[in-house]
Structure formats: C-alpha cells, structure tokens
C-alpha cells in the first residue's frame, strides 16, 4: 500500500475510534465528520475522479470501521452493577502484577464468571502475587473522577480504568488466599525472574536508589517515596521514572547485540522473542508495547532487506494497538504522550536542530537539547490540558540528568545480572551505580524544591485543537520549504 493512502486510511480509522469513544457522539455526528473528511479529501486530492472517489470511499469505510470497533469494545453484561454500594464476597484471580506502595498495595482482581475487573486497594502486607486465587469481601463501588489539583483539570479516572475492563473498586477488603500459582505460567515465570532481578538490586543498593534503577530498567517505581516522586514531577523528569520508549529502545538494541554472535536469522529471531518476553515481563504498558512493536518492525525490515520507515512503523504500531484495545486512544495518557513524543522526535527535532547549531555536539549535549526542546514544545499543550501543570526548569534538569541515564541503566543491569552469580560480584557495579543515582537524586531534589519549578495552567479542548492545528501547518510549511531548498541545491 502506498504511503499517502496508508496514512489517510489510518488517520480515518483513528478518527472513527476517537469520535466514537466520546460521550454523546451519535449518528448525526458521524455524518458531519464523514462530510468534513470527504471535503478535506477533495480539497487535497488532485487526481482523476475515479481515484478521488476510491479514496473517498476508502476513508469513509476506514472511519466507519474505527467507529464500529470502538462501539463494540467492552460490550458485555455488567454483573455487579446491582451490588454497588453493598458488601460483596467474590472469588477470583489476581490478573496482573500488584503495584506496591509505601503502606498500601493495589491489584487488578478478576472475579469468576465476570468479564469486568475490580481494582482492589489493601494493606501493604501480606503481599499478593499474580495468579493468586482469592476470596475477597468488601464494599464494591464505582470509581470516581478527580481533579488533578484544586481548580485544575478533571482526570477521567473512570475511563482510564475502563480501558482495561476495570469497572469497580474495592477498598480495605478482607482477603483469604485460596490457592497460588493459577495464572498463565509464562507470565508468572517472567514476573518471578523480574522479582529475583529486583531482589538482587535491593540487596546491595539503598533506597530510593534501588527503586529508581528498577524504574529505569523495568518500569517499577512503586516504592519511591512520594516526596521524591513529586520532585521528579516538578523538575520535569517524570519520564525517567517509567519505562519510556527511549529506554525500551536502548534495551532492545542491547538485546540484539547479545544475540549478534548467532547466525543472522537465529539471532534476529532470538532478539525479537526476547523483546516480546521483556514487554510481557514489565507489564506490557502502552509505552513499552509501542516501542517494542517499532523495534520488531526494525528487525523485520533488516530481515527482508527493506528500508525502515519510522513514520510507517509508528503508524503500524498505533493501528495494531488500537485494534486490540480501541479505548487507549482516548483514555490512556501514557499511550497519547508516548506517540506525541515520538512524533516530536520525527518531525520537530529536525526543525529544532537548525535552531541549536551553535550548541557543541560534545558529550551528546546538542542531541539532548534537541530532543528535550522538541518533545517539550510538542507535548506541552497536551500536558497542560491533561494535567494542568508544567515544569519550567525541565530543560536544565534534562541536560544535567539525561547523560547519566544510559550509564545508570547499564550499571543497574550489571548489578542485577551479577547478583545471580554471587552478591559480591555485583558490589563494584552497585557502588558505581549508587554514586551516579545519588547525583541524579541530588539534582532532582534541588531543582524540584524550588518554589518556581512548576506552574499550573489549564488548557481547554478548543485551545488544544487550535495549537496542534498550528503545529501541523507550521511543520508542513517547514518541510515544504526544506524540500524546495534541497531540490534547488
């Protein structure tokens, strides 16, 4: 399929999914959007009438497919709706790895005979594990939306949970363990390996250093104190606390290098399998899945001798993920930010590079500044709309901290891996990594404590649409002028 046609159909599919996810979006709205799509297509197309008609039919059908896929997602009987507000006793499985906090833990609970899931909040101990069969007794409630801060934007917590089929919440339950080890054995084995890896790190590194390393490598940040998490947020470095797309890319590249000694086909197959298993082991968050799919596309392109197109790979990843779960498009902030940041690296970084040619390339300084400025510019409107807060010192903190991230990841991996051989073998890497993490935490603590580190400003949907429309127009004009200059030269 040719590029423009592929992108047109993909965008139409995304639009159908998104608009069908919006409350109150009825048949008349579908007609209006279809007419707008046809008008835009007629305006932008300069082919013959037959080609134009074919494109128009394809766009409308793709939009309709997206709307239908979104409409049928999660359509099933909600068996516990009548029990909301009353005490309920249910038997079921812990269907995902629990998330441990300082004094509490949360886990997803799948009652027997129900397609809906329950988010359970309980005491930190005893610890529950994926695959535990439990008998839980508590008051079952619907989740509620909340304000990100007083007077700030409302976070749609209900839809955020619903994207994973979580419709109810239970707090302070009475829990009895019936049986352990009832989940999928592959997932359970991967979680066990991850748990042993994290224990190796925790044995030789203090807190919060160990938790920060776990966040960099495995996306685990539950044990970080709240004040440390707040400092990362205010200093604009929250993205390193989770398994970001760039971190996954680094891990994927290293996995491919590990298997590079094997014959080409076997090495690529082993690397691809390892990337899939790593995504499963870390919980398959939207950011991890997106980066993993793009890494797999790279491997496929190399295997068949085709040129790798990053825009097409990103679009393929979006289509695959949204077909599997259409609700992530409108309600998963991680998915949205991940794709916006990747688009920024693709389309905005070349523009910013021209602005920052005076910055030296030594130690990767220019690259860090370019990626930071590009992602900040492109994601800023969405962050203000979704969270209502932005760090004004993130450029400084990213320059000071990001050069250390890859080294901290390497050191943390060595600590965890050598710990399987003997604890003493991991001590040299642990000392070096702890020193590096101490520096990172000191930078975050200093800048995060500044009273002007972050500002609060809420942006509504009309402003959001207007700003991104301007971005699209500006990028299009810049690319057109740049293409003309290259043609002329």
Show the domains of the chain with their CATH numbers.
Answer: 3-72 (no CATH), 81-182 (2.40.50.140), 244-328 (no CATH)
Phi, psi of 155 (to 5 degrees): -90, 125
pLDDT given for residue 227 in this prediction: 82
Distance, CA of 316 to chain centre: 16
Give the mean model confidence (pLDDT) for residues 383-410.
85
Quick one: average pLDDT of 156-181?
A: 89
Closest CA to 132 of 90, 170, 181: 181
Class of residue 267 by CB neighbours under 10 A (exposed 0-12, middle 13-18, buried 19+): middle
Q: Is the pLDDT of residue 98 over 70?
A: yes
Mean pLDDT: which of 92-106, 164-178, 398-412 is highest? 164-178
For residue 238, pLDDT over 90 is answered with no
What are the angstrom distances between the C-alpha of 267 and each of 113, 185, 417? Answer: 43, 25, 21
- From CA 167, how far away is CA 160, in angstroms rounded? 10
Please say if the pLDDT value at position 29 is more than 60. no
What single DSSP character describes residue 84?
T
* Confidence (pLDDT) at 51: 64
For residues 178 and 134, is the Cβ–Cβ distance under 8 A?
Answer: yes
**Spatial distance between the Cα atoms of 231 and 158, rounded to a whole number of angstroms:** 27
Q: State yes or no: pLDDT of 397 exceeds 80.
A: yes
* φ, ψ dihedrals at 177, nearest 5°: -80, 125
Q: Is 241 helix (H, G, I), strand (E, B) or coil?
A: coil
Of 61-65, 219-223, 482-486, which gets the smallest average pLDDT?
A: 219-223
Q: What is the pTM of this model?
A: 0.83
Point out the least confidently predicted range of 146-155, 199-208, 386-395.
146-155
Report residue 2: phi and psi, to 5°: -65, 155
Spatial distance between the Cα atoms of 317 and 328, rounded to a whole number of angstroms = 13
User: How far is 295 from 257, CA to CA, in rounded Å?
Assistant: 13
Tens-digit pLDDT profile for residues 30-57: 555 555 555 555 555 555 555 666 677 7
Average confidence (pLDDT) over 394-414: 86
Mean pLDDT over residues 353-366, rounded?
80
Query: Per-residue pLDDT tens for 421-441?
Result: 888 888 999 999 999 999 999
Lowest-confidence pick of 15-19, 260-264, 314-318, 457-461 = 260-264
The answer to whether 80 and 170 have CB atoms below 8 angstroms apart is no
């Amino acid at each position: 399929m040719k590029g423009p046609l592929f992108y047109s159909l993909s965008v139409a599919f995304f639009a159908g999914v998104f608009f069908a996810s919006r409350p109150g979006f009825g048949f008349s709205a579908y007609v209006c959007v279809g007419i707008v799509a046809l008008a835009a297509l007629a305006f932008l197309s300069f082919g013959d009438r037959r080609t134009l008609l074919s494109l128009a039919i394809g766009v409308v059908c793709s939009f309709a497919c997206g709307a239908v896929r979104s409409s049928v997602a999660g359509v099933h009987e909600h068996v516990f709706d009548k029990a909301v507000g009353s005490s309920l006793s249910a038997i079921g499985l812990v269907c995902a790895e629990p998330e441990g906090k300082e004094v509490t833990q949360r886990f997803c609970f799948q009652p027997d005979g129900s397609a809906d899931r329950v988010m359970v909040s309980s005491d930190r101990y005893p610890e529950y594990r994926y695959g535990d069969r439990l008998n839980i007794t508590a008051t079952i409630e619907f989740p509620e939306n909340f304000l990100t801060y007083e007077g700030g934007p409302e976070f749609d917590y209900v839809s955020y949970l619903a994207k994973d089929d979580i419709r109810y919440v239970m707090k302070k339950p009475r829990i009895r363990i019936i049986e352990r080890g009832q989940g999928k054995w592959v997932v359970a084995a991967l979680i066990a390996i991850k748990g042993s890896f994290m224990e190796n790190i925790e044995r030789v590194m203090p807190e919060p250093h160990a938790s920060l390393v776990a966040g960099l490598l495995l996306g685990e940040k539950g044990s970080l104190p709240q004040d440390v998490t707040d400092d990362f947020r205010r200093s604009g470095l929250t993205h390193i606390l989770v398994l970001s797309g760039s971190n996954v890319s680094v891990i994927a590249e290293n996995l491919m290098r590990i298997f590079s000694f094997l014959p080409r086909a076997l090495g690529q197959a082993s690397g691809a399998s390892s990337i899939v298993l790593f995504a499963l082991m870390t919980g398959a968050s939207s950011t991890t899945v997106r980066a993993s799919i793009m890494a797999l596309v790279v491997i496929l392109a190399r295997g068949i001798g085709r040129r790798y197109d990053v825009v097409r790979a990103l679009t393929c990843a979006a289509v695959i993920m949204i077909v599997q779960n259409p609700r992530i498009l409108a309600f998963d902030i991680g998915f949205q930010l991940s794709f916006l940041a990747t688009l920024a690296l693709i389309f905005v970084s070349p523009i910013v590079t021209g602005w920052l040619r005076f910055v030296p390339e030594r130690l990767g300084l220019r690259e860090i500044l370019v990626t930071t400025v590009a992602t900040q510019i492109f994601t800023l409107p969405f962050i203000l709309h979704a969270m209502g807060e932005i760090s004004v010192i993130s450029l400084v903190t990213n320059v000071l901290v990001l050069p250390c991230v890859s080294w901290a990841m390497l050191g943390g991996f060595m600590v965890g891996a050598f710990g399987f051989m003997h604890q003493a073998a991991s001590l040299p890497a642990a000392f070096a990594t702890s020193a590096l993490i101490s520096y990172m935490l000191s930078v975050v603590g200093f800048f995060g404590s500044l009273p002007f580190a972050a500002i609060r400003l809420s942006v509504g949907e009309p402003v959001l649409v207007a700003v991104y429309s301007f971005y699209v127009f500006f990028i299009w004009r810049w690319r057109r002028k740049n293409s003309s200059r290259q043609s002329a030269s």
